[in-house]
Amino acid sequence: MNRSRFGTDTPALEARLGARLAAGLSLHSEATHPDVGERLRVARERALERARTGRQPAAAQASATLGGGPVAHLAGFSPWRERLALALPLLVMVAGLIAIDRWTVRERVIAAADIDAQLLTDTLPPTAYSDPGFVEYLRTAPPP
């Protein structure tokens, strides 16, 4: 039997509290709006259903939750395998982000090397590119 730190029986205390709350709600139920009464009725039915499923034996409860959660606890799988199955998509995503980062850095290096190669093989000296009049020349020059 469950005992609280005050030495009383916890289920009996919960039952008394529930009975007092139900009596108070029933006493004032006539004064509530019909919508509120309907919502209270639905909430009461849900609470009763939860209480019924809470009283089921552990085996029946385990079979009821087999397909209900985000990851079903399958027979034969240990907890570390379930954790690995949960962490695997995260690891794949991180690896993909690292691969994308390396690919973009590589593409930038290739583009910079291509520009450098064009500058070095061009007929103009590199100092011509730093001349302020060269920008004006590029704007007015006809395309090749």
Q: Are 2 and 11 in contact (CB under 8 A)?
A: yes
Provide, rounded to the nearest whole percent, the portion of the chain with pLDDT above 90.
19
Over residues 30-59, the mean pLDDT reads: 78
pLDDT of amino acid 66: 47
Q: Are residues 32 and 95 in the same domain?
A: no
| Residue 25 clears pLDDT 90, i.e. is over it | no
How many domains does the structure of the chain reveal? 2
Residue-wise pLDDT for 98-128, tens only, equals 999 999 999 999 999 988 888 778 777 777 7
- Residue 9 phi/psi, 5-degree rounding, is -80, 115
Instruction: Answer whether residue 44 is part of any domain.
Output: yes
Supply the range of the domain harboring residue 97.
74-144
Measured CA to CA, the distance from residue 132 to residue 108 in angstroms comes to 27
- pLDDT for res 39: 83
For residue 13, the tally of other CB atoms under 10 A from its CB is: 13
- Residue 61 inside a domain? The answer is no
